[in-house]
Structure 1
Amino acid sequence: MAKTNPFEFMQQVRQEANKVTWPSRKEVGITTLMVVIFMVVSAIFFFAADSIIRWGVQTLLSLGS
């Protein structure tokens, strides 16, 4: 592999960075909103699952005493 001097390397980095397609402000906003909604739905699901499992374990443990 040939070594590249720092100047050439920075030129190559700039060329590659210019090829990047950045999302628009609207796309970033929509994606952020989707992530927040998914987090809330996930939190509600895991809270419900945890509550049901806790209730089941407490019920089983109270049957034995």
Structure 2
Amino acid sequence: MASKTTPMAFFRQVRSEAAKITWPSRRETTISTAMVLVMVVLAALFFFAADQLMGWLLRLILNVSV
């Protein structure tokens, strides 16, 4: 059976673990944010093009004019 940890010991352990965190620099954060935004735009363009293509093919197959 595991021994119980006191609240003070728990908070000491939390502070000890938090001290081990390596935070990214401002430059790394900016680059990562820019990469995410570029990928979102590329994904949006891809899905827009795929949607347009599938709509065009469906209209062609069903002979429906919009």
Indicate the TM-score class for this superposition, using the shorter chain for normalisation: over 0.9
1:2 match? 3
* 1:27 aligns to 2:41 (yes or no): no
Letter in 2 for 1:47: F
TM-score by length of 2: 0.92
Q: Distance in 2 between matches of 1:28 and 1:2?
A: 40
TM-score by length of 1: 0.93
Larger relative contact order, structure 1 or 2 (CA cutoff 8 Å, min sep 6) = 2
Segments of structure 2 that go 5 or more residues without pairing to the other structure are: none
Segments of structure 1 that go 5 or more residues without pairing to the other structure are: none
Letter in 2 for 1:10: F
SS in 2 for 1:19: coil
**What's the Cα RMSD here?**
1.0
Indicate the percent of aligned positions where both proteins have the same amino acid.
48
Identify the structure with the greater helix proportion.
1
